[in-house]
Chain A
Amino acid sequence: MYGKGLRTLSIATVAMLAVGLSLVAFYAPIETDQGFIQKIFYLHVPLAIVALVGFVVGGIFAIAHLRTGNRKWDAYSYVAIHISVIFGVAVLLTGSIWAKASWGHWWVWDEPTLVSFLIVFLMYATYYPFRYAIEDPERQARYASVFAITAGAFVPLNFIAVRAAQSLVHPRVFATANGGLPGSMMLTFLCCLAAIALLWVTLVKFELTAKSASGQVKRLRRALDAPSTSPSSRVAPEVS
């Protein structure tokens, strides 16, 4: 039963988001360096952290799938990656806006974290055509799990490489931001991080519930021997 607890989770998410946003608007002080623009930090960074953790979680679900052979883990893996990709779009868009505000360009190659994230995002974007190209559903699930594990291992490695590629002369925004955060900012940041993390979990559960409902409809259809009138997806795994 995937829908169980979804309502509580959603309420908690909304509450946390409200708290976080209020803190950003009314409590967090204006930073001296970047001014008001710095407030994007409270949205952009939690989104990025949650997306990356989400990708790794997708890899962990994939390991569970390969070890147990139970296809539900593959569905979890797919949904975790799917929601993280959506969050990834938000990261890139908000990051671009922040870059434009701070440095005047919509994209900068100088910021290692942003570039590294772009590469990770591009790689996970290939997850969908990769799944689509494999027809047999059981094999598709297995190969997708292998991809998710490989990609999960790739994420930390990629960050190391891109960070190393940056000349140490360039100022590192996130180093100063996370290193010397004053208490009020840290509190705001942590609240926003918790809110976005809750949002991720809620959306994953939401998506799984929808999939499960579709799966039940299919089951019912089969039991009644009724013809199906809608196409079945070849990319996404079924949940029943």
Chain B
Amino acid sequence: MTPSRAAFAAILGKDLRSELRTLQSLPAMALFSVTTFVIFRFGLDRTSLSGSLAAGVLWATLLFAAVLGINRLFVAEREEGGFDAIRLAPIDRSALFAAKAAALLIYLLALELIAVPIFGLFFLRDLGGLAPLTLVLLLADLGLAATGTLISSMAVNSRARDLLVPLVLLPLVVPLMIAATGATEPLLALGGPGYHRFGTWLMVLGLYDLIFGLVGYAVFDFLLED
């Protein structure tokens, strides 16, 4: 195993273990999602959702829950000198980016494992669209993980870091949201799942993941310079 790959595995393992032990981000994200669903139920005064409304509620909620997790992603590194450790280690520093993005991806997937069935329970009359939805969720999460990790690593070293992440991240993920909701809307349509332009949206998502994954990986080194 190359040193970078070993470092990647070590950081990822540390993050997951730490999260399992302390359970900071994940329960907060899940609870936030469920509460937000309740707020939408009353805010929209509807007990069932379909089509574009369902897609919008789901993705807006997931996105804001993700921001909670993204805010906390690098806090441990900053407070306990993890950045310095990476700087000193003779490895490719982008291993930190990859590991953190992978951790964030896992958090998001875990969040969706809880939030999406509950969403289905609360609002959907027909659960047929949920199976193909997993593909959309996966691709969108990849993009969210890449961009979120990049922004989080910059925000953690600044003042007002809790403000900075939502401010800078949200415009950046708009194309992701457009594609995700575009793909989700026909899946959650009243008459059963539809696949109108499903391929197009998946391609846009894939393109976003590719570009931001590469950009993040390439520039991360410069973020860690002293």
**A residues neighboring B (CB under 8 Å):** 66, 119, 122-123, 126, 129-130, 133-135, 139, 142-143, 145-147, 149-151, 153-154, 157-158, 160-162, 164-165
Contacts and interface: CB of A to CB of B under 8 A. Distances in A.
A142 B222 contact: yes
A130 B200 contact: no
A157 B207 contact: yes
A161 B215 contact: no
A157 B175 contact: yes
Interface residues of B, number: 35
A123 B172 contact: yes
15 contacts: A66-B222, A126-B167, A133-B160, A133-B161, A133-B164, A135-B159, A146-B223, A147-B154, A150-B212, A153-B211, A160-B175, A161-B176, A161-B204, A164-B182, A164-B200
Contacts of B212: 150, 153
B150 interface: yes
Interface of B: 147, 150, 154-155, 157-161, 163-164, 167-168, 171-172, 174-176, 178-179, 182, 197, 200-201, 204, 207-208, 211-212, 215-216, 219, 222-223, 225
Contact of B219 (A119, A149, A160): A149
B171 A146 contact: no
Q: Chain B interface mostly helix, strand, loop or mixed?
A: helix
B157 to A, nearest CB: 7
B157 A139 contact: yes
Contact of A134 (B150, B158, B176): B158
Q: Chain A interface mostly helix, strand, loop or mixed?
A: helix
B172 A154 contact: yes
A160 B204 contact: yes
B211 A164 contact: no
A145 B221 CA distance: 12
A146 B211 CA distance: 14
Given A66-B219, A146-B222, A162-B178, A157 B154 contact: no
A150 B150 contact: yes
Contact of A149 (B164, B204, B215): B215
Nearest to B164: A133
A10 B175 CA distance: 38
Given A66-B219, A123-B172, 4 more contacts: A134-B158, A145-B222, A146-B223, A151-B172
Contacts of A126: 167-168, 171
Contacts of A154: 172, 175
Nearest to B205: A161
Contacts of B204: 160-161, 164
A149 B218 CA distance: 10
Contacts of A122: 171
Contacts of A146: 150, 154, 219, 222-223
A150 B219 contact: yes
B204 to A, nearest CB: 5
Q: Which of B157, B160, B178, B223 has the most CB of A within 10 A?
A: B178
A125 to B, nearest CB: 8
A145 B215 CA distance: 12
Contact of B171 (A123, A139, A143): A123
Contacts of A157: 175, 207-208, 211
A143 B207 CA distance: 24
A135 B164 CA distance: 14
B174 A119 contact: yes
A46 B174 CA distance: 25
B175 A161 contact: yes
A28 B157 CA distance: 54
